[in-house]
Amino acid sequence: MARLPRLTVAGYPHHVIQRGNDRQVIFRTLADREYMLGLLAEQARTCQVAIHAYVLMDNHFHLLATPATAQGLPLMMQAVGRSYVRYFNRCYQRTGTLWEGRYRSTIVQSERYLLACMAYIDLNPVRAGMQQQPADYPWSSHAHYLGQREDPLVTPHGLYWQLGNTPFARQAAYAEWVGQGVSPQEQQTLGRSTHAGWALGEDEFIAALQEKTQRRVSKGRAGRPAQALIESS
């Protein structure tokens, strides 16, 4: 059975995961991580994609991003993926693929899952046993939201601005949110939806989203036949 085109709708936040092939390490050095962040910043501007949160792990990375156009996110990921593979192969005198197929992504309902998704991304290094606190990990957007550094890659989502009337209030509220953690059920839901490519949200949200795309948005909700609205990179 032919796989569905990737679900991408302008103006909605998307959770994105890109893994190394066979879970191999894709960031060997500090320079590798810096190069990836530079690529993401450049292509996010070019493709009109707002990146709200990110984490670079050893063998994969996560993004939470909102594209301004239906093609913005696929074009950004394609450009970043190709450029990074060329860089990586040149640096380490290798050939062939680096990625585990195409990236995985899904749309998340802002009011229900956006902050949970941000916390899920921030807590990746803690779940992996790499750090005890997310603030100790330098390769994520978490420090930006705590006011510890300015990250030019990050564009806060409107829901973050609603956490408080001052920067300090927002930072404290977000730190408390992340400190509460993400339940095992939410972790499973976020991971499963992203890997399957089904939108994540309440029934009313899913129904409204389906009106905006011909691609089926949930496993249990049939849509019109998919058309080439989204590039499958």
Q: Which CATH class is domain 14-210?
A: alpha beta
Q: Which two tokens stand for residue 185?
A: 């059920």
Q: Using one digit for the tens of pLDDT, what is the confidence trace for 133-177?
A: 999 999 999 999 999 999 999 999 999 999 999 999 999 999 999
Give the per-residue pLDDT at 66: 98
3 state SS for the chain: CCCCCCCCCCCCCEEEEEEEHHHCCCCCCHHHHHHHHHHHHHHHHHHCEEEEEEEECCCEEEEEEEECCCCHHHHHHHHHHHHHHHHHHHHCCCCCCCECCCCEEEEECHHHHHHHHHHHHHCHHHHCCCCCCHHHCCCECHHHHCCCCCCCCECCCHHHHCCCCCHHHHHHHHHHHHHCCCCHHHHHHHHHHHHHCCCECCHHHHHHHHCCCCCCCECCECCCCCCCCCCCC
Mean pLDDT of 53-76: 97
Mean pLDDT of 61-80: 97
Mean pLDDT of 96-121: 93
For the cut 70, the answer to whether the pLDDT of residue 118 exceeds it is yes
Nearest by Cα to 55 from 175, 116, 142: 142
Per-residue pLDDT band for 1 (boundaries 50, 70, 90) equals very low
Q: Using one digit for the tens of pLDDT, what is the confidence trace for 178-203?
A: 999 998 998 999 988 998 899 999 99
What's the chain's average pLDDT? 90
Predicted TM-score of the model (pTM) = 0.90
Question: Residue with structure tokens 């036949």?
Answer: 225
Give the per-residue pLDDT at 154: 97
Q: Provide the percentage of residues in the chain whose pLDDT is more than 70.
A: 93
Residues 6 or more apart whose CB falls under 8 angstroms from that of 203 comprise none
Give the per-residue pLDDT at 140: 97
Query: Which tops the pLDDT comparison, 106 or 224?
Result: 106
Annotated domain spans of the chain: 14-210
Question: Residue with structure tokens 């990236």?
Answer: 103
74-111: buried (b, 16+ CB within 10 Å) or exposed (e) per residue?
bbbbbbbbebbbebbeeeeeeeeebbbeebbbbbbbbe
